[in-house]
Amino acid sequence: MVACIKYDSEIQALAACDRNSAFELMVNRYQELLFARACFITKDTSVAEEIVQDTFLKAMRETRIFEPDFRIKGWLQKVCLFAAYNHVRDRKSRADILDCNKPQHYSPAAQASRANNKRRSEMLEIFLSQLSENHRAVLELYYWMGLEHNEIAVILDIKLGTVCSRLGRARARLRHVCEGDREFLLSSI
């Protein structure tokens, strides 16, 4: 039956009579796709499996998931990818903390540069947290993950033109959020 289901609208129609079967079909339809994306980002199959399970748990709690105008594939991919990116970022943060515990000898200039970079990264995280999820998503996918506009469109399940306009608005919004910290802006140039 999974092979017969081609569109999210068919899953959503089934949900009107049998929500459990619709959820099962949704899992069967998107499990491999989400696993491949999570595995690609995390480079760890066990972490990817956990992220996919968490994604479907969130889907189970999402009240709008089977509404007719809800974009199931896009929502699942977004939740899964953000979880994967967060895992990678957290793993990197933990590695940075462990690196800080190692005795290292840097020149005073190198120490100042590392401290400045760390402070700028922390401030950027704060500024990004003030953006909407949509703006943060396109910025992270474009700048941190290095994805092309068309790849972002596929991942977020939006049109290419929407990616371009959203990226422009996200940059402008980030610039506006950063304006309060002139020192940050000058150090970022």
What integer pLDDT is reported at residue 79 of this predicted model? 93
Q: The CATH number of the domain where 81 resides is what?
A: 1.10.1740.10
Indicate whether 145 and 78 sit together in one domain.
Answer: no
What integer pLDDT is reported at residue 31 of this predicted model? 95
What integer pLDDT is reported at residue 34 of this predicted model? 94
132: left (phi over 0), alpha (psi -120 to 50) or beta: beta
What integer pLDDT is reported at residue 96 of this predicted model? 55
The count of domains in the chain is 2
Residues of the chain with pLDDT under 70: 1-5, 92-106, 181-189
pTM: 0.55
Indicate whether 10 and 85 sit together in one domain.
Answer: yes
Indicate whether 20 and 80 sit together in one domain.
Answer: yes
What integer pLDDT is reported at residue 48 of this predicted model? 95
Token look-up 């595995």 returns: 39
The 10s digit of each residue's pLDDT in 101-116 is: 555 666 777 777 777 7
Indicate whether 20 and 98 sit together in one domain.
Answer: yes
Among the candidates 71, 103, 135, a domain finishes at 103
Indicate whether 177 and 112 sit together in one domain.
Answer: yes
- CA 7/CA 169 separation, integer angstroms: 31
Q: The CATH number of the domain where 161 resides is what?
A: 1.10.10.10
Indicate whether 123 and 188 sit together in one domain.
Answer: yes
What integer pLDDT is reported at residue 182 of this predicted model? 62
Among the candidates 63, 86, 103, a domain finishes at 103
| 159-162 long-range contacts, CB within 8 A, separation 24+ | none
Indicate whether 58 and 34 sit together in one domain.
Answer: yes
- Give residue 142's domain range: 105-189
Indicate whether 115 and 171 sit together in one domain.
Answer: yes
Indicate whether 43 and 121 sit together in one domain.
Answer: no
Among the candidates 103, 136, 151, a domain finishes at 103
Indicate whether 82 and 2 sit together in one domain.
Answer: yes
- On whether the CB atoms of residues 121 and 153 are closer than 8 A, the answer is no
What integer pLDDT is reported at residue 189 of this predicted model? 44
